[in-house]
Structure 1
Amino acid sequence: MRLMLVWLCLLSPEVAFAQQVQLKGLFGTSAMLEIDGHQRLLKSGQKSPEGVQLIEANTRYARVKIDGREQKLTLDAPVASSYAETRRAEVRLMPDSRGHYNTSAWINGRSVPVLVDTGATNISLNYPTARRLGLNLERARPVQVATANGMVRAYKLRLDSVTIGGIALTNVDATVHADDFPRITLLGNSFLSRVDMEQQGGVLILRARN
């Protein structure tokens, strides 16, 4: 049985300490962990006396939580994480039945449903949504953009703030279409290129950059 050693360095304003967590084995929905020298066989959902909680386990990995921060442990390769990495704001998105990732964003302080679209250059909004958000198109730059229906009139501007979960960005480029397209606001690369993205088992993970 392969072993994996993972150091989780957890720092707080009052105390700085390191906790050693070692994945010893995976047994269905249970995992054998060695925590600071003590072996603990935990079932999914259980917490050890040291405060390490096993969120889930399967034949491929175990996911644990320490001090409110999650860490995925696998038997294939060691994964080292530090406080600087795990403390970054993170959003996990599940795909819908069509494989699309939908969530809610706060744009200039107002909630808007959005669809993740890596093919969109900017955040793209339709005109009614822009009006509801109170965006001033008089100061926006008129442009022509290509759509499935041909070239259409649009406006380019910069959003003061875009927040998803705990990830908050300022001065994000956006394109406002002069009609009711797109039906749902597209979360394009003007936002996505400024965060770290990865997929784990179909789940899309967005992480704020330091």
Structure 2
Amino acid sequence: MLRKVIIFSVCAGTSASFPSLYQSHQETIHRLAAPFIGVSAPEMRISAAQPVAFNPQEGSGRQVRLAADRAGHFSGEFRLNGHRVEGMIDTGATVVALNRSTARRIGISPAQMDFVQKVDTANGLARAALVTIDRLQIGRVSVDDVQAVVMDDSALSETLIGMNFLSRLGRYQVENGTLLMVQ
């Protein structure tokens, strides 16, 4: 069991660091991937060298910007099942994580919280229940049927918005101390 936890932790850490690695080394990654996806490297360099300009005035799609706090974290007011919840974007979290009190407040009943899953957290191993959030929303950006884990209040003090939310967006990027989320 410990072997599985270690393998999961390594995979989660690696996948969490990939977006920032990709942002800073796009051209190199494209060049290395070219032989495997059947695209020549020169074509990929051209497309990678042409940045996609984002103009918030265009109104093309739903978007939200979050400014980093003093510690560099991106926190904001989310709506989970229609209820306001303060949350923090956590690219190191595979899934959305909330504590038992927040789960009850957003309408997840105790019967849905079967704490049989073991999860590896920054504070060590904890028990968690797998649940589904009907709708997770921040501003005009909204994702339905988001998997989440619920932990005891003592194991988790704040709501963490994990990669399973971000990965369902059209794109997200960090630039100049701001996180942009576009649907």
- Please confirm whether the aligned pair reaches a TM-score higher than 0.5, indicating the same fold: yes
Query: Match of 1:155, SS?
Result: strand
**Other-structure match for 1:122:** 95
Per the TM alignment, residue 129 of structure 1 is displaced from its structure 2 partner at its CA by 1.1
Over 3 Å counting, the alpha-carbon distance change for 1:81 and 1:171 in structure 2 is same
**Aligned to 1:179, which of 126, 141, 153?**
153
Larger Rg: 1
Residue 150 of structure 1 deviates from its aligned partner by 2.6
Q: Secondary structure at the match of 1:176?
A: strand
Q: CA deviation at 1:193?
A: 0.8
- CA apart distance, 1:180: 3.3
Partner of 1:134: 107
Which sections of structure 2, spanning at least 5 residues, go unmatched?
1-48
Corresponding residue SS for 2:104: helix
Deviations 1:127-152 (A, max 9, x none): 11112222124234531111233322
1:204 aligns with 2:167: no
Residue of structure 2 equivalent to 1:194: 168
Contact in 1 for aligned 2:95/2:164 (Cα 8 Å): yes
Rounded to whole Å, the distance in 1 between the matches of 2:51 and 2:135 is 37
Contact 1:105–1:114 under 8 Å retained in 2 = yes
Distance 1:154 1:87 in 2: 38
1:183 Cα deviation after fit: 1.3
Identify the residue that residue 166 of structure 1 maps to in structure 2. Answer: 140
Query: 1:73-110: CA deviations, max 9, x gaps?
Result: xxx9785679xx84211101111000010001100010
* 8 Å CA contact retained: 1:90, 1:167: yes
Aligned twin of 1:97: 70
Alpha-carbon RMSD across the aligned residues, in angstroms, is 2.3
CA contact (8 A) 1:128 1:180 kept: no
Q: Which of 48, 61, 79 in structure 2 is aligned with 1:106?
A: 79
When you count helix as a share of all residues, which structure comes out higher? Answer: 2
- Give the TM-score normalised by the residue count of structure 1: 0.57
Shift of 1:182: 2.0
Higher-strand-fraction structure: 1
Aligned residue runs from structure 1 range 57-76, under 5 A? none
* One-letter amino acid matched to 2:145: N
Whole-angstrom distance in 2 between the partners of 1:188 and 1:81: 24
The CA distance in 2 between the partners of 1:136 and 1:170, in whole Å, is: 19
Structure 1, gaps ≥5 residues long: 1-75
Highest relative contact order (Cα 8 Å, sep 6+), 1 or 2?
2
State percent identity of aligned pairs: 37
Tell me, yes or no, if the aligned pair for 2:99 and 2:152 is still in contact at 8 Å: yes
CA distance in 1, matches of 2:160, 2:108: 16
Kept after mapping to 2: 8 A contact 1:125/1:181: no
